[in-house]
A and B are shown apart, each in its own frame.
Chain A
């Protein structure tokens, strides 16, 4: 008991107590050790790490358990990094046409030639016109290997209009072709066009979600915070918007965009239209949460301290359920991507100088494509992958958003 300091304590009252015939008081006890509130039940370092983790860390742990969501997140990350370097990743430029190879089928990559392992090559085409069916027939010739070149000079490009270059990840052999996913009606390489299309299709959802996020928080925040008549009016308004079938409304709004607009303006117009319909779900979520949260003590305290509504909503209420909002916003991105695809397919969305997956798919509009040139439907694969990935990611985020649950 060395930490007990028996000499501590005033000496003078002791004499007074003795004079009064009382027993000596117990020595005054002061521990010099720093105070440790957790001394009573010690936790193991592992427990401590868990119980004292910040909410953000808890969310991350929880998210990590959802393996599919993590994989989806990784896939999306790869996609979004890829759209930065489209020019480099695509074997050809967006609009380079190969008039000798119209509707050429996909060329498959081979690594064995004559039974020996060689560098990857594709088989060159033999081409003739089938005069009875009136269609071009391409036959891959196993005797004509065309080795793929890596990191080589190809079509010149201007990276984001900033840096000029002509280095590509993959190029065809000199004088050969490299159409891994075939070509379209103008002899343009589908793979390159899909890679460039990602730039538009993947950002449409992001900008749209930003619009609907802002609108949702604003409107839902006002409805949930003020309640009463404001709430009632906004609720009815949301019901009106929700009772519209989305696509016809999107079509009607997209038809408003003037034909004279430049492609970039049309692109922004479409994203804003997509965002303008989807905000209602977010607004509802915000409103519901706010209605319950504004009864909490910390909110009353903030009101009493004279904080204005904007500050209370923005500083005190929103952060408490931001993670939920982000999760549900993630879940609205896929419907926007699909919406853009459908609009462009119908010819009301983006138009040809701009290349999105929907624009590419609008080439696959009739049954003859399915029968004769099925590779024109390939842009649907990245669409499905992206939509699936966003769905799984959103699922994982939603589970992780409430780590104390």
Chain B
């Protein structure tokens, strides 16, 4: 197990380095940089930019240096927890993002929990009731969730929540709690608001998860040991939970790897629509105005979240399934 852990961590390092290089290349691909865009914008409005400050910043952040040096500066800063400087907000990135990373994490985490709690019973139900009317209905519902663009779903849900439950539109909490310290009331308000984005973001992932669990469980249920156990007279529920379900659970855990990118992607669009205080809307702004450190650090954070998520799911899988543990340490 320890050898597996070490190897797995060693693999993660080059992956993260490669990701950071890709991100750096992408945010540097647009012609010009934040300042050229900014100066052009100011000039089009007939104003003069503070050229001295800009020249200072350009020098300070090494915009005139070769790309690889800029990359080393940025990546080196990330290692120290320094995410660079946001030109758009005129503040260090870490201060700009602050709570937002936390909120992104909260929303993503809750969404994954939601996905599990919904997908698990439904998946088991439709596998054990294959080809029944309810199986068809649930499958269709799942497909529908997969096919609906999340932003529109979010919009409609927000509207309905407002009309039916009187929940304030947009944001993750009631406006009166903004800029207030954390309290019970604030936490409750967050919980009242978080369910809409969680449902919206979770829907697509849940549908995929249900289908996979159903397919896996069906494969297991057709095996001979199930028939034998049934012939022996084992109670159906005990039989289900004791063997086939455990075997079908593997993909459930390893799926975090594919679930996380979906959740984070979904969160971006949904948070733009619902103006959530997460990273989504800010990423959009940063990309539009070429605020490269802000955009780059956000992208890096999201990719990092995914990589760590996959790592954790691999660990859980290895702990749960001796076959994986022994196979990888031996081979």
Nearest Cβ on chain B to A291's Cβ, whole angstroms: 16
Give A251's nearest chain B residue, CB to CB: B287
Contact string against B for A residues 201-217, beta-carbon threshold 8 Å, 1 for contact and 0 otherwise: 00000000000000000
Does A383 interact with chain B (Cβ within 8 Å)? yes
B29 lies within 8 A of chain A by Cβ: yes
> Does B322 lie at the interface of the complex (its beta carbon under 8 Å from any beta carbon of A)?
no
For A, the interface residue count at a CB cutoff of 8 angstroms equals 42
Residue of B nearest to A357 (CB): B149
Judge if A253 is at the interface, Cβ distance under 8 Å.
Answer: yes
- List residues of chain B with CB within 8 A of the CB of A249: 26, 299
> How many inter-chain residue pairs (CB < 8 Å) link A and B?
130
Verify B27–A377 contact, CB threshold 8 A: no
Given A237-B18, A256-B30, A371-B159, A248 and B147 touching (CB < 8 A)? no
Among B30, B149, B151, B283, which residue has its beta carbon within 8 angstroms of that of A248?
A: B283
Known: A248-B298, A346-B284. A242 touches B269 (CB 8 A): no
Closest to B155 in A: A370
Instruction: Verify A383–B149 contact, CB threshold 8 A.
Output: yes
B136 shortest CB reach to chain A, Å: 10
Q: B303's contact among A244, A348, A377, by CB below 8 Å, is which? A: A244
Q: Which residue of A lies closest to B21 (CB)?
A: A240
- Given the known interface contacts A239-B15, A245-B302, the answer about A334 and B147 at a Cβ–Cβ threshold of 8 Å is yes
A367-B287 in contact (CB<8A): no
Structural contact, A236 and B273, CB atoms closer than 8 A: no
Given contacts A256-B30, A367-B169, contact A251 B268 (CB under 8 A): yes
Docked-complex contact A251 and B159, CB < 8 angstroms? no
Q: Does B143 contact A (CB under 8 A)?
A: yes
Q: How far is the CA of A253 from the CA of B28 in the complex (A)?
A: 11
Over the window 224-263 of chain A, the binary record of Cβ atoms lying under 8 Å from chain B Cβ atoms (1 yes, 0 no) is 0000000000001101111111111101110110100000
Nearest Cβ in chain B — how far from A253, in angstroms? 7
Docked Cα-Cα span, A366 to B155, in Å, equals 7
Bound Cα distance A197, B284 (Å)? 25
Question: Could you say which residues of chain B place their CB within 8 Å of the CB of A236?
Answer: 11, 14-15, 18
A241→B19 CA distance, assembly (Å): 8
For A369-389 the 0/1 string (1 means CB < 8 A from B) is: 111000001001001100110
Q: Are A252 and B265 in contact (CB-based, < 8 A)? A: no
Q: B269 and A247: CB pair below 8 A?
A: yes
A371 to B144: give the CA distance in the assembly, Å: 23
The answer, among B18, B149, B262, B266, for a CB contact under 8 Å with A380, is: B149
Q: In this assembly, does A158 line the interface, its C-beta being within 8 Å of a C-beta of chain B?
A: no
Tell me if A251 and B283 are in contact (CB < 8 A). Answer: yes
Q: A242-B257, A258-B30 are in contact. List 15 more A-B contacts (CB 8 A).
A: A240-B18, A245-B265, A245-B302, A248-B265, A252-B23, A255-B30, A255-B287, A255-B290, A345-B149, A345-B151, A345-B269, A366-B155, A367-B155, A370-B155, A380-B148
19 interchain pairs, CB-CB under 8 A: A236-B11, A236-B18, A240-B19, A242-B261, A243-B15, A243-B303, A243-B306, A244-B261, A245-B262, A247-B264, A247-B265, A247-B268, A248-B298, A252-B287, A256-B26, A258-B31, A334-B147, A338-B149, A380-B152
Question: A: which residues have CB within 8 A of B?
Answer: 236-237, 239-249, 251-253, 255-256, 258, 334, 338, 341-342, 345-346, 348, 361, 364-367, 369-371, 377, 380, 383-384, 387-388, 391-392
